[in-house]
């Protein structure tokens, strides 16, 4: 018996549309990360970009459990001494609502060039409108 290895030309990418309204952030992000990796396909190969293209709508209506809505902060550092900044979730939700979901999904993907390539297949929209109707995405309720 020989080990089956899929070729880049044999990979099929589908378009998936999903709604984030009322979903819990961590559980939703982990399922999206699995779809971006391609782990739901029987021909999954860890070193190849197997995942589908994902369109997420209503990212501004994602839920956080417990006291994360007031306690969770995002950290950034510019590289200069003492140049740290902390931004809480409420401020991020007001200014850039899709960054909450984007950072959660990005943290669940590989930290290399394959993970960066997988992030290019993710489209997140704060509202319910999206310009990907021509791709005829499959609606998936996660």
pLDDT at res. 69: 92
Domain presence at residue 80: no
Please report the DSSP string for 57-114 in residue order: E-GGG-B--TTHHHH-EEEEE-SSTT-EEEEEHHHHHHH-THHHHHHHHHTTS-SSHH
**Segment holding 123, helix H or strand E:** strand 122-124
Residue at 5 is within a domain: no
Q: Give domain status of residue 129, yes or no.
A: yes
- Would residue 88 count as lying in a domain? no
130 lies in some domain: yes
Domain limits at 30? 14-67+97-139
Query: Residue 122 to residues 24, 57, 73, 101: CA-CA distances in angstroms?
Result: 18, 11, 23, 11
State residue 1's pLDDT score: 81
Q: What is the pLDDT of residue 4?
A: 84
Q: What is the pLDDT of residue 2?
A: 87
DSSP 8-state assignment for residue 31: H
Contact 17, 130 (CB under 8 A): yes
Is 9 a member of any domain?
no
Q: Is residue 110 part of a domain?
A: yes
Number of domains in the chain: 1
Structure tokens at 34: 């699995």
Question: What pLDDT is attached to residue 109?
Answer: 97
Contact 53, 14 (CB under 8 A): yes
| 57 neighbors 139 (Cβ within 8 angstroms) | no
In this structure, what CATH number is given to the domain that contains residue 29? Answer: 3.90.1180.10
118 found inside a domain: yes
pLDDT in tens, 79-118: 999 999 999 999 999 999 999 999 999 999 999 999 999 9
> Is the four-CA dihedral 47, 8, 108, 34 of positive or negative sign?
negative
**Residue 5 pLDDT:** 86
Between 130 and 1, the more confident residue is 130
pLDDT in tens, 1-42: 888 889 999 999 999 999 999 999 999 999 999 999 999 999
């Amino acid at each position: 018996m020989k080990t089956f290895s899929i070729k880049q030309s044999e990979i099929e990418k589908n378009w998936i549309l999903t709604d984030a309204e009322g979903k819990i952030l961590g559980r939703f992000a982990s399922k999206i990360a699995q779809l971006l990796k391609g782990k739901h396909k029987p021909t999954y190969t860890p070193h190849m970009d197997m995942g589908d293209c994902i369109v997420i709508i209503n990212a501004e209506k994602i839920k956080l459990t417990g006291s994360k809505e007031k306690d969770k902060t995002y950290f950034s550092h510019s590289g200069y001494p003492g140049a740290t900044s902390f931004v809480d979730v409420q401020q991020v939700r007001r200014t850039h609502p899709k960054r909450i979901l984007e950072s959660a999904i990005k943290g669940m993907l590989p930290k290399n060039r394959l993970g960066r390539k997988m992030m290019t297949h993710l489209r997140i929209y704060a509202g319910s409108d999206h310009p990907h109707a021509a791709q005829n995405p499959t609606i998936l309720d996660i």
